[in-house]
Amino acid sequence: MMHGALQDFALTLDKFLDHAAKWHPETEVVTAREDGSTARIGYAGLNLRARQVSGALRSLGVAQGDRVATLAWNTQEHMEAWYGIMAMGAVCHTLNPRLTAEQLAWMIDRSGAKLLLASADLAELAHSVSDLSDGGSCRVMILGPEAKGPDAFDAVANLAPQDTPWGEFNETSPCGLCFTSGTTGAPKGVTYTHRGNYLHTLKLMQADVTAITARDVVMPVVPMFHANAWGLPFACPAAGAGLVLPGRQADGESLARLIAQEGVTIAVGVPTVWLGLMDYLDATGTTLPSLKRIMVGGAPMAQALMDRIEARGIAVQTTWGMTELSPLGTATPPNSEVRDPRAAGRPAVGVDLRLTDETGTPLPRQRDVEGYLWVRGPAVVERYFGQEESATVDGWFDTGDLARIDHYGTVRITGRSKDLIKSGGEWINPGEIETIISALPCVAQSAVIGRSDPKWGERPLLLVEFREGFSPSDEDLLAELKGKVANWWIPQEVVRLRAMPLAPTGKIDKLRLRNQYCRA
Amino acid sequence: MMHGALQDFALTLDKFLDHAAKWHPETEVVTAREDGSTARIGYAGLNLRARQVSGALRSLGVAQGDRVATLAWNTQEHMEAWYGIMAMGAVCHTLNPRLTAEQLAWMIDRSGAKLLLASADLAELAHSVSDLSDGGSCRVMILGPEAKGPDAFDAVANLAPQDTPWGEFNETSPCGLCFTSGTTGAPKGVTYTHRGNYLHTLKLMQADVTAITARDVVMPVVPMFHANAWGLPFACPAAGAGLVLPGRQADGESLARLIAQEGVTIAVGVPTVWLGLMDYLDATGTTLPSLKRIMVGGAPMAQALMDRIEARGIAVQTTWGMTELSPLGTATPPNSEVRDPRAAGRPAVGVDLRLTDETGTPLPRQRDVEGYLWVRGPAVVERYFGQEESATVDGWFDTGDLARIDHYGTVRITGRSKDLIKSGGEWINPGEIETIISALPCVAQSAVIGRSDPKWGERPLLLVEFREGFSPSDEDLLAELKGKVANWWIPQEVVRLRAMPLAPTGKIDKLRLRNQYCRA
């Protein structure tokens, strides 16, 4: 009693939508429909809808801690479902529609979700998932105003009360569940918590991170079903920013139309999406005067693409993150002088990084050397869903990434430790070779994998997808590496692919490449 | 075990200085000395010094939860003491050197501090405080490299280890204590907590609040001994921004020299400080090209001053806060289109506001009406130091301010509820009269207080300090109110003051005015 106290205030995600509804009631969430029309709702209206989702879930028997799965693109209905699920204390298990029904059923069986909310265009996949899951005990209901019949979720939500309590639980309660892509090994479930996402949101809102303000209109092309759409469905209402959801369409024409129509100021997605947008703008002579910044991440950015975007007066902000980090790790500040597509910025306060050797021992020097990147912080995984053992060592999580941190603290991801190739007892980092090859104007995408070799143990194999109209000789291609990497790093062989195989998250599927080209 | 987990990460203030030391080691904290020189230290060096302060405190018997008082201006030594005290879990009780020794001794007796760290130029006051406190049991030690003898704190700190554990306590632990000015009634102690200040810092770092970045150099002219210097000694290391501490000197010439020399980009303080700076710049023809923004708060801002600052291409950011809020409540966003000196912006997420009638009942309409302003949030007082009863009602704190919130959510503080004057059974808001009178070019400062009246209960009395060279008639002065307030609000009498009496926090001392002019 002697010391005074400040007020109790649990860091729960319902607060974001309540804040937006009260202080930014008319700021809109806009969804692009497949027919080219848009659906629009203010934060005040969205809040009421989400509260009805909570009421509907309660009437369907969902309790705090229960998992409710969603299978949907970035849409208003998905936003309503997210907040309706999370704010009442249930756990939103997002499913990736690009995975197979078998893969998704496996995940549903792990999470134990008894209810799956799917958008109408994914109803067929949702029912397959349910049928394939243990005993078919997961009920499918269809989101959106068009759904009819006993499985129409809106029919329940429209009649539901709006007074289901929000946020009346511990802030460390789980709110979300996302399985990693599992291109190497079985997928692992990352549990997100209210506190973790709340603090991650406050990180995003910093002036040196996303710097989102109430005057911005933000378009996340990154999906809500993967790593929280980088946290933007939380940060936008928290900042009072408008939110533009592209639905299923991520082609250049659809995105350009949406950006122009809605006055999007910040667009967020993986590099390939912006390649499509730039191609469309170049081909049609379209300009996008409202767009001031593109945030990229999820895959390495090519210098040529960065140059093309910046030539239009649009700033490029590079980032690094992963599912296990909720997901943002580092970001170059908006309007940074560092104009390097490989730079991923510095960590914001609350994210700590260290470099180790391959045994996990911290390197004596942490700057200007390459090392294994470990991370810690309040939004970093400690233990995967359903597992008993910790995913950390001494409080640090091994990202599996290799990185170099320069004198100014700027992080550059140099590769994946699992991709390292051991040749003649020494390590080759395929990431460095890929960066050089992918920067060539003739190359669309490239990958380097290790193939077993009787003499050297492993030797690097280069796989390339060329851009249309290009087909240089192997010699000319490999000559580009001379002087830039050690001679013994240079692959002897080049495999030409019509199309690089991609995993459902959009990354190059190295597991598949290894299975196809490296089996003994 | 079924649900996974994110990492434990306590929101404690040591993390800010550790982050700055690791990621912004060379970014400097610069202190202006009275002889015109500057002291400089990077965040890495400051971190080591603060760790030695913790070691010294431990060797002097200070334990977690103990109060350690400080009596110092904004200086490097004060920064070292702050972090040294707070990071090891002790409570930093800041004392205002503008109060009397008797007032400070009363506060020390309440807090129970057994150690008082004072800067050399405040040694005499510090010893008087100690002598006057209960049994003189509070030991005085002198900060800074020049101090000699047994009371020299540096002599202990320089030999102290740097490995005293930091942050190994619950995040809701107290870290600071600040007594309100007590211009009405006895001072009340506000206890700050690690969690409260951590979340307050993340609020400051938002792009729509202070938007401080690692490229900024911030000069807080607001004192560290009052309401945490608005939280900037936390936000600057957390953002990696440079920090310029003006020490004791807040005159226009000293501030202009420091801003120019250190490339200050954001300066923060009460309006009168900037009046002095503008007068100096006008008189000398000096320009300050680095300065992009001035943040003001603590007192109403005059339109004329705002215009003078903005005419120089320096943006003005208005704010509202109070000691009980840690202290920031609302802020106009940087570069807002709202260019109104009375506007105090919107609350950031985590601060909630509501307007009530005089009984505390929420007004049915919350927009475009005047009401009593209540607030809640994680950095808002729940219970004052040493008190048993809550300072809140239904989880809300009554700020004592009157406010109006417009359609866009922008808050305008219209007065203090305690200053309201009841005349003929109706309320007169002196704040509205003061705003009109203070905006006149002939007026330096004005105050309106209630004087008892046999017929009306109370009538307003206008007290004015004119600017040099001005002396309008009472009639001309009062004529300015006609048509802008109700006729019965207009005072009948004007009192001309050579100098408006100010409380130690720089605000007009209405208690003294009432004692002098309103005693029956």
DSSP string, A493-512: -EEE-SS--B-TTSSB-HHH
Give the nearest chain A residue to B7 (CA atoms).
A382
Q: What is the DSSP secondary structure assignment for residue B380, as one 8-state letter?
A: S
CA distances (Å), origin B450, targets B456, B479, B511, B512 = 11, 20, 11, 13
The single residue of A31, A164, A180, A330 carrying the catalytic annotation is A180
- The tens digit of pLDDT for each residue in A357-386 reads 999 999 999 999 999 999 999 999 999 999
Q: Do B3 and A174 touch (CB under 8 A)?
A: yes
pLDDT score recorded for residue A160: 97
**Mean pLDDT to the nearest integer, B479-494:** 92
**Distance set, CA A185 to CA A182, A207, B178 (Å):** 5, 38, 55
Contact: B193, A5; criterion CB under 8 Å: yes
What pLDDT, in 10s, does the model give residues B90-138?
A: 999 999 999 999 999 999 999 999 999 999 999 999 999 999 998 778 9
Mean pLDDT of A262-288: 96
As a whole number of angstroms, the distance between CA B355 and CA B357 comes to 7
Among the partner residues B6, B379, B397, nearest to A380 by beta-carbon distance: B6
Nearest-by-CA chain A residue for B386: A2
Q: What percent of chain B stands above pLDDT 70?
A: 98
* Confidence check: pLDDT of B175 > 70: yes
Cα separation, A94 vs A98, whole angstroms: 12
> For chain A, what is the mean pLDDT?
94
Tell me: pLDDT of A354 over 80: yes
Bridge partners for B316 per DSSP: B294
Provide the chain A residues 206-245 that lie in CB contact (below 8 A) with chain B. 206-208, 210-215, 238-240
What is the nearest CA distance from A243 to chain B, expressed in angstroms?
Answer: 17
Find where tokens 């409202």 sit: A290
Q: Do A207 and B203 touch (CB under 8 A)?
A: no
Q: Distance between alpha carbon B65 and the CA centroid of its chain, in Å? A: 24
Q: Which residue has the tokens 């990693």?
A: A180
Interface contact B333-A215, CB threshold 8 A: yes
Question: Are B211 and A207 in contact (CB < 8 Å)?
Answer: yes
pLDDT score, position A183:
57
Residues 476-505 of B with CB under 8 A from A: none
CB-nearest to A392 from B7, B205, B377 is: B7
Q: Which residues contact A245 (CB under 8 A, 6 or more apart)?
A: A29, A30, A31, A32, A73, A74, A75, A76, A78, A79, A219, A220
Quick check: A263 pLDDT over 90? yes
What confidence category does residue B247 fall into, taking pLDDT thresholds of 50, 70 and 90? confident
pLDDT of residue B283: 97
CB-CB contact of A470 with A442 (8 Å): yes
C-alpha dihedral, A307 to A311 to A313 to A319, nearest 10°: -10
Place of tokens 């990154």: A222
pLDDT given at position A247: 87
CA distance B35 to B51: 28
pLDDT at A285: 97
- Chain A CB contacts of B172 below 8 Å: 5-6
Find how far residue B28's CA is from the centre of its chain: 23
pLDDT at B30 over 70: yes
Flag whether pLDDT at A443 surpasses 60.
yes
Is-contact A346 A411, C-beta < 8 A? Answer: yes
Backbone Cα Rg of chain B: 23
Helices first, then strands: H and E counts in chain A: 14, 27
Contact map slice: A 399-438 vs B, CB within 8 A: 409
Over 80: is that where the pLDDT of A400 sits? yes
Q: Tell me, yes or no, if A422 is annotated catalytic.
A: yes
Q: Do A381 and B3 touch (CB under 8 A)?
A: no
A385 interface with B at CB cutoff 8 Å: yes
Contact B6 A191 (CB under 8 A): yes
List, as one string, the DSSP characters of A438-465.
Answer: HTSTTEEEEEEEEEEETTTEEEEEEEEE
Indicate the residue of A3, A214, A349 with minimum beta-carbon distance to B208.
A214
Largest CA distance in chain B: 79
Question: In the predicted model, what is the mean pLDDT of residues A111-127?
Answer: 97
- Catalytic residue (one of A422, A484, A488, A507): A422
If DSSP codes are grouped into helix, strand and coil, which group holds residue B199? helix
Q: Which of residues 91-110 of A touch B (CB under 8 A)?
A: 91
Mean of the pLDDT values across residues B232-252? 96
Give the distance from residue B84's alpha carbon to the nearest chain A alpha carbon, in angstroms: 19
Q: Which residue of A has its CA nearest to B211?
A: A207
Tokens of B163: 């490995």
* Of B65, B213, B382, Cβ closest to residue A333: B213
Q: What is the mean pLDDT of residues B73-79?
A: 97
Tokens matching residue B280? 């100096």
**Closest Cβ–Cβ partner in A206, A384, A388 for B206:** A206
Q: Which of A88-102, A221-235, A434-448, B203-217 has the lowest mean pLDDT?
A: A434-448
Q: Which of B290, B283, B285 is nearest to B258 (CA)?
A: B290
Residue A212: name the closest of B207, B12, B413 by CA.
B207
Per-residue pLDDT averaged across A218-225, rounded? Answer: 96
Residues of B within 8 A of A174 (CB-CB) are: 3-4
Neighbours of A392 (CB within 10 A): 17
Confirm if B27 and B43 have CB atoms less than 8 A apart. yes
Best probe of the B interface among A1, A7, A201, A375, by most B CBs < 10 A, is: A7
Q: Do B385 and A1 touch (CB under 8 A)?
A: no
The whole-angstrom separation of Cα B279 and Cα B1 is: 66
The DSSP letter of residue A296 is E
Whether A427 is catalytic: yes
Q: For strands B67-71 and B115-119, give the pairing.
A: parallel
Q: Which are the contacts of A432, defined by CB distance < 8 A and separation ≥ 6? A: A414, A415, A485, A489
Catalytic residue among A38, A382, A427, A480: A427
Distance CA A125, CA A104 (A): 9
- Alpha-helical (H) ranges within A285-417 are 303-310
pLDDT at A505 over 80: no
Angle (CA) A472-A474-A478 rounded to 5° is 105
pTM: 0.93
Residue B392 in contact with partner chain A when CB distance is under 8 A: yes
Q: Which of residues 324-343 of A touch B (CB under 8 A)?
A: 326, 333
pLDDT class for A507, splitting at 50, 70, 90?
A: confident
Helices B14-23 and B232-239: crossing angle in degrees, nearest 10, is: 40
Residues A84-119: b if buried by 16+ CB within 10 A, e if exposed: bbbbbbbbbbbbbbbbebebbbbbbebbbbbbbbbb
Report the range of poorest mean pLDDT among A54-58, A488-492, B489-493, B500-504.
B500-504
Contact B191 A6 (CB under 8 A): yes
Residue B327: cis peptide before it, omega within 30 degrees of 0: yes
Q: Hey, what are A377's tokens? A: 């912080």
Inter-chain CB proximity A385 and B1 less than 8 Å:
no
- What is the per-residue pLDDT for B184? 59
A33 class by beta-carbon count within 10 Å (0-12 exposed, 13-18 middle, 19+ buried): middle
Residue A450 CB contacts under 8 Å (≥ 6 apart), including other chains: A419, A420, A421, A422, A423, A428, A430, A458, A459, A460, A461, A518
pLDDT band at B465 (very low <50, low <70, confident <90, very high): very high
List residues of B with catalytic annotation.
Answer: 180, 324, 422, 427
**Calpha distance B248→B72 (Å, rounded):** 9
Helix or strand holding residue B69 (H, E): strand B67-71
Asked if residue B428 lies in contact with residue B414, where contact means CB atoms within 8 angstroms, the answer is no
Instruction: Tell me the per-residue pLDDT of A164-218, one tens digit each, with 9 for 90 and over.
Output: 999 999 999 999 999 987 555 688 999 999 999 999 999 999 999 999 999 999 9
Between residues 3 and 42 of chain B, which touch chain A (CB distance below 8 Å)? 3-9, 11, 15-16, 19, 22-24
Taking residues B300-316, what's their average pLDDT?
93
Q: What is the DSSP letter of A182?
A: -
Is B350 at the interface with chain A, CB within 8 A?
Answer: yes
* C-beta atoms of B23 and A409 within 8 A: yes
At residue B18, the pLDDT reads: 98
Q: Bigger pLDDT: A432 or B140?
A: B140
In B, minimum Cα distance to A66 occurs at B3
Distance from CA of B335 to the nearest CA of A (A): 11
Contacts of B250 (CB under 8 A, 6+ apart): B221, B269, B273, B276
- Put simply, the answer to whether B4 touches A395 (Cβ < 8 Å) is no
Asked if A349's CB is within 8 angstroms of B238's CB, the reply is yes
In Å, the largest CA–CA distance within chain A is 79
pLDDT at A135 over 80: no
